[in-house]
A and B are shown apart, each in its own frame.
Chain A
Amino acid sequence: MTSPEGEPTDTRLAQAVQRGDVVAYELLVRRHMNRAFSLAQRLLGHRQDAEDMVQETFLAALEKISTFDPTREFSPWFYRILVNRCLNARKTRTRRATVQIPEGVATDFASPLIDTERSELREHIQDAIMRLPERQQEIFVMSDFNGFSSPEIAEAMGISDGTVRWHLHQARRTLREALEPYARRNI
């Protein structure tokens, strides 16, 4: 089981890690460390927290590697662990750790907004994401932050594709409602 370039797939590497293969583990770390950090930093909003989270997540994944099903994709399985841990960390940490919405994003669609309103909008979206039911948060982040398809998320979570799409739809609707007052203001 290798990629077209002859490199072993993530799944093959994970199987080797299940047997305690150090080299395979190092390869997996090299492949996913940057992306994992990038996602963790977005979710936690703090570089040091993100580094710690990536380190903890790799260890957590290794501790539960025996539960990884080699007939499935490694990537959704691993990022689900990361997303869960980030969301849990956000719940327990202080408001210091916040989802960072780039300034430019708010400016792009709400240019007339003054700084206070922009800041208020960011707060609203952050709060709305954190108020989503746990499963919806997880699915929303994996889909709309991390770019996983609904079948990939369904596989990782052991639920049907339809259920994933339903939760995603509910999450997006809730977030859209959170944006509603700002959209109306700019009409």
Chain B
Amino acid sequence: MNQEDPEFDVIDPLLAEVMTGWREETPTDADVDWDRLRTAILRDATLPLARLHRRSCWYFSRTIAPIAAAAGIAFLLWVGPGVYRERLAPAPEAALPDGIMEIDEGTLLRVLTSDLSEGDFLRLVNGGPESMLSVAIKSP
């Protein structure tokens, strides 16, 4: 008999009768202490459930957390340069106090490397920019 046979799933009446009676018979469970049984089942489950919970947390920390951290870093790299360029950019140069002139680097080097007399050097150190300029002009 193969599965296409219409008789395939038909149960023999005698066997069906036995099984129906068997299935419908409710076992006597009046003596069962359901609360005690449930308590025992739940007590057995304490450790395995704790283990599953721990494993679930571990899984989170080992998979989701790194992904979140990587996403955060990616976001900062994407958004960050604009923000940080502004923050890290040098502040606008403050106005120099009165009486102080700016001297360009070339002039300064020329003054310092020139063959200054003692007097000129002291004037240069103690004096303002004007004296430095005059020294620079004098120097070859």
A residues sitting closer than 8 Å to B (CB atoms) are 17-22, 25-26, 29-30, 33-34, 37-38, 41-42, 47, 50-51, 54-55, 58-59, 62-63, 65-66, 100-102, 104-106, 108-109, 125, 144-145, 147, 162, 165-166, 168-169, 172, 175-176, 179, 183
Contact = CB atoms under 8 A, between A and B. Distances in A.
Contacts of A25: 42, 45, 49
A108 B48 CA distance: 47
Contacts of B37: 33, 37, 51, 54-55
B8 A108 contact: no
A17 B49 contact: yes
Nearest to B23: A145
B95 interface: no
B12 interface: yes
Contacts of B17: 105, 108-109
Nearest to B13: A109
24 contacts: A18-B52, A18-B56, A20-B51, A20-B52, A20-B53, A20-B55, A21-B49, A21-B53, A25-B42, A29-B38, A37-B29, A41-B29, A42-B27, A47-B28, A59-B44, A59-B48, A62-B49, A101-B18, A105-B17, A109-B18, A125-B18, A144-B23, A166-B3, A179-B15
Closest A-B pairs by Cβ, 7 of them: A20-B53, A105-B21, A20-B52, A41-B27, A19-B56, A102-B25, A176-B12
A50 B31 CA distance: 12
B14 A179 contact: yes
Contact of B14 (A58, A147, A165, A183): A183
A104 B33 CA distance: 27
A161 to B, nearest CB: 9
Contacts, number: 123
A20 B14 contact: no
Which range contains the number of B residues in contact with the other chain?
35 or more
A12 B37 CA distance: 24
B84 interface: no
A50 to B, nearest CB: 8
A104 B17 CA distance: 11
Given A162-B3, A166-B3, A176-B14, 11 more contacts: A19-B56, A20-B50, A20-B53, A21-B49, A33-B41, A42-B22, A100-B27, A101-B22, A105-B18, A145-B19, A172-B12
User: Considering residues B25, B41, B52, B56, which has the most beta carbons from chain A within 10 angstroms of its beta carbon?
Assistant: B41
Contacts of B27: 37-38, 41-42, 47, 50, 100
A28 B23 CA distance: 23
B64 to A, nearest CB: 13
Contacts of A50: 27
Contacts of A51: 32, 37
Given A26-B42, A105-B21, A165-B3, A175 B15 contact: yes
